[in-house]
Amino acid sequence: MMPLTLCDAGEENIIQRLGGSAETKQHLADMGFVVGGSVTVLSEIGGNLIVKVKESRVAISREMAQKIMV
């Protein structure tokens, strides 16, 4: 298991665990990041990530991406 920030671009991963406070976990879930769901890193810009989750493209900060374990 590793944080999303260490994944290679274009590689599809399965979310294993979400870290952080209850509010952070809920915020991630609202954006589509759920345990068992797939996530693909599309690109990294200035440390922030553009990811594909549930057929949508989402930009998340490096800090948030560190809380998503794949």
CATH code for the domain in which residue 65 is found = 2.30.30.90
pLDDT at 47: 85
| pLDDT tens readout for residues 16-53 | 999 999 999 999 999 999 999 999 999 999 889 999 99
* Mean pLDDT of the residues in the chain: 94
pLDDT at 10: 94
The domain containing residue 22 runs over which residues?
A: 4-69
Q: Which two tokens stand for residue 16?
A: 């294993």
Q: What is the pTM of this model?
A: 0.91
Average pLDDT on 55-60 reads: 94
Cα–Cα distance between 41 and 7 in angstroms, integer? 7
- Residue type, position 45, single letter: I
Domain total in the chain: 1
